[in-house]
Structure 1
Amino acid sequence: MFFIAFAALMYICGFVFLYGVVRLAVRHGIGDVHARRELAERAPERPRLQERLVPDNPSLAGN
């Protein structure tokens, strides 16, 4: 009887652990989406920034 109770407890703990792992993964995924969205919103600024940096740093020009 002890082993059945122990197995049931471990089974429940496993599901709780998996729930936490999935929740953490989703939280990080949502954070990545927000970071990419902010990067996409700043996309119009990138050509101006690149024009400013390339003359100063020829290695960034790709030549």
Structure 2
Amino acid sequence: MLVLVSTVILYVAGFVFLYGVIRLAVRHALEDLEARRPGVLRSQEVAAAQDRTFVRENPFVANG
């Protein structure tokens, strides 16, 4: 009986531990995404501006 009780306690504690680890990992991943978002948005704006400049300088690229 003691083995059964200890097995159930360890089993439940393992799931609680895994839930906590996964929750912590997701929280850190979301924080990293939020921290990188301004840089990604800025790089997209720069790339779009470079594309417009390239097309203006080379109109044959846009069939114009």
Q: What TM bracket, shorter-length normalisation?
A: 0.5 to 0.7
Q: 1:16 to 1:53 in 2, by over 3 A?
A: farther
Q: Normalized against structure 2, the TM-score is what?
A: 0.65
The alignment status of 1:38 with 2:30, answered yes or no, reads no
4+ runs deviating over 6 angstroms = none
Q: Normalized against structure 1, the TM-score is what?
A: 0.66
Trace 1:1-63 onto structure 2 (pairs within 5 A): 1-40=2-41, 42=42, 45-55=46-56, 56=58, 57-58=61-62
Q: CA deviation at 1:2?
A: 0.8
Percent identical among aligned pairs is 7
Q: What letter is aligned with 1:20?
A: V
Q: What letter is aligned with 1:10?
A: Y
When the two chains are superposed, the root-mean-square deviation of aligned CA atoms in Å is 2.5
Any stretches of 5+ residues in structure 1 without a counterpart?
59-63
- Name the count of aligned residue pairs: 58
